[in-house]
Amino acid sequence: MIDEYIFKNGYGPIRHNQNVGVKDDFLCCPKCDSVELTMDTTSMSHGVVHDKDGIIAGFTCNGCRTQITLALSNGDVGNSQLTARINWVDRYVPYEPTASDKLTNCSLTGYSKKLKQHAEKYDLWDVAIGSKADVSFNPKEYATKMDEHDIDDGRDRRVKYVAIVPYGSEGSIPLNCTSCRMFRETGDNISCESGSGGSICGYFAGYASNDVVKCEQEDK
């Protein structure tokens, strides 16, 4: 995928938002499926961007007024050579965690998240530390994401480390879907861990850190 752009997430009325639909000779809006798209050609230097890896073009839907971006690029789909593809994309904006995120998502040690789990378990949010109602804290009693999902079933695994971003309230999804083995095999954008935290990808082999997962490649 072209640097600074990622495939569009979610689903429109007909298809996945990253997939380009057409009616006769006309492009369909991924949001409303209208063919009333206008290409931004007011300034070709801004409307169409030529990149060493492909072309980026901006469009406006006159039906729902959505501004969308189309990419023509070479994609790595696991073949011996790159394959040309066309997709709707979004400009990648790095996730900037808030102070609250840093507490709930925890540090690399997971200590702050364990404290939150402890407070919720014993309803200690309004209890003074050291009071008779306080309950002593043992971090070994609580699991972080790395503890919960680190998979060790005795198999000799070859894994790839994949950068992730938050997905839903509890889950994660690859920062770049072309890094995902499931995407390369099926073409579908699959989360590493579902937004609710209730399920994981079949190739998920655990968290290496809060923003990196281990993705199983193949048995040795």
pLDDT of residue 69: 92
pLDDT of residue 32: 92
pLDDT of residue 169: 80
pLDDT of residue 30: 92
Task: Give the whole-angstrom CA distance, residue 188 versus residue 105.
Answer: 27
**Residue boundaries of the structural domains of the chain:** 5-91, 99-142, 149-219
pLDDT of residue 143: 57
Task: Give the whole-angstrom CA distance, residue 65 versus residue 37.
Answer: 9
pLDDT of residue 170: 80
pTM of the model: 0.42
pLDDT of residue 144: 52
Residue type, 39: M
Q: Which mean pLDDT values do the consecutive 10-residue runs of the chain (220 residues) have?
A: 74 86 93 92 52 78 92 80 87 63 47 68 74 75 53 58 86 86 84 84 84 75
Task: Give CA angle at 146 (141, 149), nearest 5°.
Answer: 95
pLDDT of residue 22: 93
Contacts of 108 (CB under 8 A, 6+ apart): 209, 210
pLDDT of residue 139: 67
